[in-house]
Chains A and B, each alone.
Chain A
Amino acid sequence: MNWQLLPQFAISGLLAGGPIALMALGIVLIFKSSYIFNFAQGQLLLMGALLTWWLAVDIGLPLWLSILLAIAISAVLGLLIERFTLRPLTGQPLLTIILMTLGLSQVLQGLALLLFGGTQRNFPQIFSTANPYRITTPFIHDGNPIIVILKQNLVWSFAVAILGVIVIGAFFRLTRTGLAMRGASEDHELAQSIGLRIQRIFGTSWALAAAVAAIGGVLLATSSGLDVSLSIVVLAAFPAVLLGGLESIPGTIAGGLIIGLAQGIVATSKTQIIRNSAEIMPYVVLLVVLLFRPEGLFGQKRIERI
């Protein structure tokens, strides 16, 4: 291992875990209320970013307004998706629902390509790309203290993402709607019997998830440009969801950070193949979780054992 890189990669790995947590949050929101694992979350994220780009660059609106509008449009899109594609499937087996969100992901991907084309585009900068933060650590290497260099967008994306997760978490704890959603997640029939409108709750969760996805899309696109392949980044978030526990909001933070950290740590290796394993680290972690703690770190031990 290159020990002198460990502080650097551990910290930047943790920070990269922020956006992963935010993406995981979108998936958890939907799963929590309706037991649907949304494989189309990546495409929602892509749509959010493309909408922002379209409003800000093509139409020429101010960036902050474009982002807000894109979040709003995404939320409506989320509502529509729930109403027209998933509600007809209520009560259908797992396979049907998994395939529906997979089909949805294909449709959204095709739409994005049709409407916006395959070319890559420069996304408006939100955070300065120059002047990274430099933190001097107490560790010494070769007689010099190790300095950790952190890109501004990494730091701020992390901050925004974690803030987002905390806000949503607070919403669930502190508001009436949040309470209703938590109630619904416990038991659909019971929730209905005490007068909660379960369908409205499903709709709200999809709208929230789509809005969260739009924020994630903007954060990712601003740090590294935008094209239709952006949707694949969510594949790193699936394991984070499982790791945190499918229904746990704090779990998404833990899952995102652990996966980011794991990716950072293997990157310090001196062996190339171990460094390169950073890209599959999320799925290695996933397999370990599946074998030893399928309910995740904070999930409810509800899944059926065989």
Chain B
Amino acid sequence: MAILRPAGEFDTSYASDMATIRRPWQWCLLLVFLLALFTLPFYASQGLVALVNRIGITIIAVQGLSLLTGFTGQISLGQAAFMTAGGYVSALLVNELGWPFLLALPAAAIAAGLVGLIFGLPSLRVKGFYLVMATLAAQFIIPWFTRNAFQDVLNGAQGLNVQVPVIFGVEFNTPQRYIFLTLTVLVLTTILAFNVTRSRLGRAFISIRDNDLAAELLGVNLFKYKLQAFFLASMYAGLAGSLAAHQLRHINSETFTLIDSIIFMGMLVIGGLGSNLGPIFGAIVVEFLIEAATLLGPFVAMIFPAKSAGVVQALRPLFFGTSLMLFLIFEPRGLAYRWQLFKAAWRLRPFSH
């Protein structure tokens, strides 16, 4: 990557070599971007704000998956299940124990992380496809648990109504307000993800992904780091699950499903594996695709009036699945890689080679 840096820019210290944000103008751009995001409720429609809110929560879940799958190479189809765990813990802490949301949120993250650890344990013994199956098991066992265990607390299949977060007397009960919560958490998780991946921990993750045997020979403790990756990924899922549950104001065993886990995986691949921008690109693109299906549905229904029922829901998996397959065939490195190429092309302009 260093090759693609603008001419005349030299690193004079390790710190500047590792810096994510390197130049004052980058700081400015970032601040403008964040300002534009945080002021969204003041100029965008409620529908758009709600959509951005949803995308924000999704990005957090995919960021977790990115650490686990993109950086550590452990494939997981259980991310939605860990969201369920986080959502329930947070809902119970706030509803039953009266915890403030700001405490319940990190507690939910840690609880989901611990649940993730349990299902990450098989990663010590099996990998690849077998691990996928173990995480798939989480996707069945955790929702089953919420339906059947402790029915007087978890309320079985009917699930829980979840209270609206109240912080310093402000009720976060509309998308316009809730988005501040989501964006704040998202900024923190993004900073965390960037810092994890460029630290010792991240380098260990990448070494496991690229060659676990070599990594072990070099002294990377596979057990420890794999479990840490699982814990981190599930923690992210827990945050996303808690945010989603309080935003929906309801959680049951079917709020986050296997399909969501599959979509998260798809977002990660479409966005780009092994890049911190990947989850952001992927979640945005796929959510907009899904939104496009919602908008296009009625028109497609007009073309096939006999099939009009359910067209929207049919287009969504169709759009998602098709774009995922096209990306896998034509650009398996995802949008983040395209973005690198794009930036490089501009920096090298007019000499593209």
Q: Interface residues, chain A, CB within 8 Å of chain B?
A: 37, 85, 88-89, 92, 94-96, 98-100, 102-111, 113-115, 117-119, 235, 238-239, 242, 273, 276-277, 279-280, 282-284, 286-287, 290-291, 294, 303-306
Contact = CB atoms under 8 A, between A and B. Distances in A.
Given A96-B332, A115-B307, A279-B144, A106 B126 contact: no
Contacts of B309: 117-119
A110 B137 contact: no
Contact of A304 (B127, B266, B307): B127
A107 B148 contact: no
A242 B133 CA distance: 9
B262 A303 contact: no
Given A94-B128, A103-B321, A280-B141, 10 more contacts: A96-B269, A98-B75, A100-B325, A103-B328, A106-B321, A107-B318, A107-B325, A280-B140, A286-B134, A304-B127
Contacts, number: 146
B149 A95 contact: no
Given A277-B144, A287-B122, A306 B222 contact: yes
Nearest to B310: A118
- Dominant secondary structure at the A interface: helix
B260 interface: no
A239 B265 CA distance: 21
Contacts of A114: 304, 307, 310-311, 314-315, 318
B266 A103 contact: yes
Contacts of B149: 273
A110 B141 contact: no
A290 B324 contact: no
A85 B325 contact: yes
Contacts of A104: 321, 325
Interface of B: 69, 73, 75, 122, 124-130, 132-134, 136-137, 140-141, 144, 147-149, 212, 222, 258, 262, 265-266, 269, 273, 304, 307, 309-311, 313-322, 324-325, 328-329, 332
A286 B122 CA distance: 11
B329 A88 contact: yes
B320 A106 contact: yes
Given A113-B314, A287-B122, A107 B321 contact: yes
B137 A286 contact: yes
Contacts of A277: 144, 148
B126 A306 contact: yes
A105 B73 CA distance: 23
A273 B154 CA distance: 14
Which of B133, B310, B313 has the most chain A CB atoms closer than 10 A to its own CB?
Answer: B133
Given A88-B329, A117-B309, A276-B148, A110 B316 contact: yes
Nearest to A40: B321
A290 B325 contact: no
A92 B273 CA distance: 14
Nearest to B325: A103
Contacts of B266: 99, 102-103, 106
A98 B122 contact: no
The 6 A-B pairs at the shortest CB distance, nearest first, are namely A106-B321, A110-B318, A107-B321, A113-B314, A103-B324, A110-B317
A71 B307 CA distance: 25
A239 B141 CA distance: 13
Contacts of B75: 94-95, 98
A8 B276 CA distance: 55
Given A106-B320, A277-B148, A280-B144, A290 B125 contact: yes
B324 to A, nearest CB: 4
B334 to A, nearest CB: 11
A106 B324 contact: yes
Nearest to A95: B75
B324 A92 contact: no
A94 B127 CA distance: 11
Nearest to A108: B321
B328 A110 contact: no
A232 to B, nearest CB: 9
Nearest to B273: A95
Contacts of A111: 314, 318
